Amino acid sequence: MLRIEQLAKYYKVNGQSVLALNNINLEVSKGQIFGIIGRSGAGKSTLLRTLNLLERPSQGKVWIEGEDITAFDGPQLHSLRQRIGMVFQHFNLLYAKTVSENIAFPLKLSGKYTAQEIQARVVELLELVGLQDQGNKYPSQLSGGQKQRVGIARALANYPHLLLCDEATSALDPETTQAILRLLLDINQKLGLTIVLITHEMQVIRTICDRVAVIDAGEIVELGEVVDVFLHPQHAVTQSLVAENQAMDLSVLERNDQNPDRHLLRLSYVGTSTHDPIITRIAAQTAIDIAILQGVIGRIKNTPYGQLLVELHSTQEQSEVVENLLINAGVRVARISAAAGVH
């Protein structure tokens, strides 16, 4: 569906060339929800805007549905942008027009539809986003979540093949954010629509995305399935973003860690093993005390996961036996120490 090859973007600032994006390579499959996450200024908005050529790459290629779009101009560019919907952080609605008129606007602009077809499409989209009774209202009469629903409906008006979401939930409260994420997931499932979104919140990625790219200083520093990246982050930036979204509190490490028979393990479970009594079984099998210090169970999109911080009072050899049994049971194990961190 979408492929980016060796993309770079430069800006001229006071006569100097400033690198905003460097050596970006990624692929998004049809029907996938792909997330791009990074801190403010990391380059994620610039990257998203290269996908519909609101920002033209300085070098590299962007392929959409098998076409290299980087040289598109005129009618080709107009046609491309009709195939790509975009949802904005601050809604970008026309406040002098009603909800229905906002949704109808891109349809009228395209010049491809009759008045009856436009009206029917608006009714269809209002129902899709849950605003059946709001068509005659103006944006000033709507809540933030309702405004974003209008923005989503407008982005879908021209039957796009790709939907871009630029921090679509960052201006919303947590409850409304979850409602908008559920709507995007519903649209993805009902329409098979490919979605690329950018965010600075790992919770957004965890809730609806299939794959994620972590961007820092204009470069992708980590890329993969959300389950893998969330539970086993490799890069320091990713680890920091994940830590902010984790319920695990490692302040327990402040206790005296000099006892050689005290072993701390962080355990990660994915899928059906999340609900298996693995700890109880291994403790009974080995006669080793395993104390659960902390735990969290949740979901990464549709996949259940769990993380436990456990303490073993045992010899080094006994702790290694427990570790091997856990690994054989499908559990990811990381040893933790106050001095050395996770290893």
CATH number at residue 270: 3.30.70.260
Of 102 and 248, more confident: 102
| Confidence check: pLDDT of 67 > 60 | yes
pLDDT of res. 250: 57
**CA separation for the pair 73, 63 (Å, rounded):** 15
- Predicted pLDDT of residue 246: 67
- Verify that 266 and 237 share a domain, yes or no: no
C-alpha to C-alpha distance for 182 and 325, rounded to whole angstroms: 38
pLDDT at 182: 96
Which is it for strands 16-28 and 303-313: parallel, antiparallel or unpaired?
unpaired
Of 244, 277, 306, the residue at which a domain comes to its end is: 244
Which of 219, 244, 269 is where one domain is finished? 244
- For residue 98, is it within any domain? yes
Q: Does residue 143 contact residue 151 with C-beta atoms inside 8 Å? A: no
Please tell me whether the overall predicted TM-score, pTM, comes out greater than 0.85 for this model: yes
In this structure, the answer to whether residues 177 and 222 fall within a common structural domain is yes
Secondary structure of 66-105 as H, E, C letters: CEECCCCCHHHHHHHHHCEEEECCCCCCCCCCCHHHHHHH
Residue 294 lies in a domain: yes
Q: Once rounded to an integer, what is the mean pLDDT over residues 63-87?
A: 92
Per DSSP, which regions of the chain are E strands?
2-13, 16-28, 33-37, 59-64, 67-68, 84-87, 162-166, 194-199, 211-216, 219-225, 262-270, 290-300, 303-313, 332-337, 341-342
Among 194, 229, 193, residue whose Cα is nearest residue 211: 229
Point out the domain boundary residue: 182, 216, 244: 244
Shared domain for 285 and 195, answered yes or no, is no
Predicted local distance difference test score (pLDDT) of residue 247:
55
Residues 78 and 19 reside in one and the same domain: yes
Tell me the per-residue pLDDT of 117-137, one tens digit each, with 9 for 90 and over: 999 999 999 999 999 999 999
- Is residue 189 classed exposed, middle or buried when 0-12, 13-18 and 19+ CB atoms within 10 A define those classes? exposed
Out of 30-39, 71-80, 163-172, 180-189, least confident range:
71-80
Residues 233 and 269 in one domain: no
Residue with tokens 């290299």: 68
H or E element in which residue 296 lies = strand 290-300
- For the cut 80, the answer to whether the pLDDT of residue 256 exceeds it is no
Q: Return the pLDDT at 260.
A: 73
Question: Looking at the domain assignment, is residue 36 inside a domain?
Answer: yes
Share of residues in the chain with pLDDT > 90 (%): 71
**Same domain (yes/no): 231, 308:** no
pLDDT tens digits for range 291-331: 999 888 888 988 888 888 999 988 899 999 999 999 998 89
Confidence of residue 248 (pLDDT cuts 50, 70, 90): low
Q: What end-to-end distance do the CA atoms of the chain give, in Å?
A: 38
- Residue 341 inside a domain? The answer is no
139 part of a folded domain: yes
Tokens of 292: 């659960």
Residues 215 and 126 in one domain: yes
pLDDT of residue 339: 46
Is 251 within a domain? no
pLDDT at residue number 343: 42
Mean predicted confidence (pLDDT) in 264-291 = 86
Task: For the sheet with 211-216, list strands across it.
Answer: 84-87, 162-166, 194-199, 33-37, 211-216, 219-225
Compute the average pLDDT of residues 264-293: 86
CATH number of the domain bearing residue 106: 3.40.50.300
Q: Are residues 167 and 285 in the same domain?
A: no
pLDDT band at 244 (very low <50, low <70, confident <90, very high): confident
The confidence band for 340, taking pLDDT boundaries of 50, 70 and 90, is very low
The answer to whether residue 14 sits within a structural domain is yes
Residue 257's pLDDT is: 56
Q: Is the residue at 254 inside a domain? A: no
User: Is the model's pLDDT at 169 over the cut of 50?
Assistant: yes
Average pLDDT over every residue of 56-83: 93
Inter-residue contact 85 to 162 (CB < 8 Å) = yes
Does residue 6 sit in the same domain as residue 147? yes
Same domain as 110, residue 16 = yes
Predicted confidence at residue 274, as pLDDT, reads 65
Tokens standing for 39? 């801190």
The CA radius of gyration of the chain, in Å to the nearest whole number, is: 24
Tell whether 17 and 114 lie within a shared domain: yes
What is the number of domains present in the chain? 2
Range of the domain at 147: 2-244
Write down the residue that tokens 């100097």 correspond to.
16
Measured at the CA of 245, the angle between CA 243 and CA 249, to 5 degrees, comes to 55
Share of the chain above pLDDT 70, in %: 92
Q: Are residues 240 and 266 in the same domain?
A: no
